[in-house]
Amino acid sequence: MAKDIDWGSLPFGYKETSKSFVANFKDGKWDEGTLTSDHTITLNECAGVLQYAQTCFEGLKAYTTADGKIVCFRPDLNADRMADSCARLEMPVFPKDKFIQAVKDVVKANLDWVPPYGSGATLYIRPYMFGSNAVIGVKPADEYQFRILVTPVGPYFKGGVKPIKVRISDLDRAAPHGTGDIKAGLNYAMSLHNIVDAHKCGYAENMYTDPATHTYIEETGGANILFVTKDGKLVTPKSNSILPSITRRSLLVVAKEYLGIEVEERQINKNELKDFVEVGLCGTAAVISPVGQIDDHGTSIMVPSGMEKFGPVLGKLRDTLTGIQMGTEKAPEGWVVQIA
Ligand SMILES: *Cc1c(COP(=O)(O)O)cnc(C)c1O
């Protein structure tokens, strides 16, 4: 039974819940892992994560479907992506089957924190791992902790959809051949100054270009980008410094298989921005969030779908994927995983 909370007005913030999952890696192996109600971590002052930022994370959500089931969306892809992040950061992989089981166990231990259907709120699930023992020379830690915390978050669009204004960034998010394609905390640390500055200047997000030539559009600080062409094609940037969004990959399948929309993954020159009729950011939090204006150093590109609502293609795409997630549309095999 869900707690008596005003789910609709919850912010996107941290709120302590009943249990977290914790497992420790020591002497070359993971322990069994357990649920804990201790939400504080005590670490050596020289822990690898504190000195050299050896940490990565994932994000997914649990929610209540139209017929009252508690489910999550494609947790296998979060496990795979975290394995890729761990490999790149010289961290031990937490086995995929145990990852998925731990996600289920921690949600089950917090069932009263899962918001009801129709509230727009969800239980955000944050798996993460960090180097926990002392390291002073630059090298990987020998000990790691894998945790999953859950926290209820409110609807992404409170009081209706509001297309956002973004700017083409002067700074880079990721280096060529760097870590842009993994979900590492370090990618976010370096984006903080730029996002604070963007907000000061009246922008919701920074749109990053490719770090080698600053010619092609990549993604924003925490979301991939979708474009719709005049002839109704869905286009998304292709680059190996983009984080492979699970939402984006799912939306491409939905566009093709459910809506018969032609889909293209290719380099997108920044000069093409003025030609698109719809632009949206995509990620777990909002599924799709419409962009109404893109500023590029004094030039404003007004997206034809405007500053009031979703364009028809991205709106339909978002409705279809949320329908799949909420159980009102038939889901592809394995996409919606039942927890309770
Ligand atoms: C997490 C993340 C996304 C969105 O990925 P989803 O799996 O769809 O939530 C996009 N870009 C960056 C940089 C991210 O860290």
Span from the CA of 52 to the centroid of ligand 1 (angstroms)? 23
In the chain, DSSP finds a helix count (H) and a strand count (E) of: 7, 18
Q: Is 166 exposed, middle or buried (0-12, 13-18, 19+ CB in 10 A)?
A: buried
Per residue in 91-150, pLDDT (tens digit) is 999 999 999 999 999 999 999 999 999 999 999 999 999 999 999 999 999 999 999 999
Q: Rounded mean pLDDT of 297-310? A: 96
Q: Is 18 exposed, middle or buried (0-12, 13-18, 19+ CB in 10 A)?
A: middle
Span from the CA of 4 to the centroid of ligand 1 (angstroms)? 31
Q: Which residues line ligand 1 (CB under 6 A)?
A: 59, 183, 219, 222-224, 243, 245-248, 283-284
Question: Ligand 1: which residue has its CA nearest to atom 13?
Answer: 222
Site to probe by mutation for ligand 1, drawn from 224, 282, 318 as the one with most ligand atoms within 8 Å of Cβ, is 224
The per-residue pLDDT for 172 is: 97
Could you give the CA distance from residue 274 to residue 88 in angstroms, rounded to a whole number?
36
Could you give the CA distance from residue 76 to residue 218 in angstroms, rounded to a whole number?
25
Span from the CA of 284 to the centroid of ligand 1 (angstroms)? 7
**Ligand 1, closest atom to CA 248?**
8
Site to probe by mutation for ligand 1, drawn from 245, 246, 249 as the one with most ligand atoms within 8 Å of Cβ, is 245
The per-residue pLDDT for 156 is: 87
Question: Ligand 1: which residue has its CA nearest to atom 2?
Answer: 222
Per residue in 180-204, pLDDT (tens digit) is 999 999 999 999 999 999 999 999 9
Span from the CA of 183 to the centroid of ligand 1 (angstroms)? 8
Question: At what angle are helices 312-326 and 246-257 packed, to 10 degrees?
Answer: 100
Task: Report the DSSP beta bridge partners of residue 234.
Answer: 228, 263
Strands 217-220 and 205-209: antiparallel
Which token pair is 232? 């109704």
**Ligand 1, closest atom to CA 81?**
7
Site to probe by mutation for ligand 1, drawn from 172, 194, 284 as the one with most ligand atoms within 8 Å of Cβ, is 284
301 residue type, one letter: I
The per-residue pLDDT for 1 is: 67
Q: Is the pLDDT of residue 90 over 90?
A: yes
Average pLDDT, the chain: 97
Q: Is 155 exposed, middle or buried (0-12, 13-18, 19+ CB in 10 A)?
A: middle
Do residues 110 and 88 make contact, with C-beta atoms less than 8 angstroms apart?
no
* Active-site hit among 19, 183, 200, 316: 183
The per-residue pLDDT for 194 is: 98
Could you give the CA distance from residue 302 to residue 246 in angstroms, rounded to a whole number?
28
Please name which of 142, 138, 101, 241 lies closest in space to residue 184, comparing C-alpha atoms. Answer: 241
Strands 70-73 and 34-36: unpaired
- Write out the chain in H/E/C secondary structure: CCCCCCHHHCCCCCCCCCCEEEEEEECCEECCCEEECCCCCCCCCCEHHHHHCCEEECCEEEEECCCCCEEEECHHHHHHHHHHHHHHCCCCCCCHHHHHHHHHHHHHCCHHHCCCCCCCCEEEEEEEEEECCECCCCCCCCCEEEEEEEEEECCCCCCCCCCEEEEECCCCCCCCCCCCCCCEHHHHHCCHHHHHHHHHCCCCEEEEECCCCCCEEEEECCCEEEEECCCCCEEEECCCCCCCCHHHHHHHHHHHHCCCCCEEEECCEHHHHHHCCEEEEEECCCEEEEEEEEEECCEEEECCCCCCCCCHHHHHHHHHHHHHHHCCCCCCCCCEEECC
Instruction: Let me know if 256 is a catalytic residue.
Output: no
Span from the CA of 118 to the centroid of ligand 1 (angstroms)? 24
The per-residue pLDDT for 269 is: 98
Q: Which domains are present in the chain?
A: 7-153 (3.30.470.10), 164-326 (3.20.10.10)
Q: Is the pLDDT of residue 158 over 90?
A: no
Do residues 130 and 145 make contact, with C-beta atoms less than 8 angstroms apart?
yes
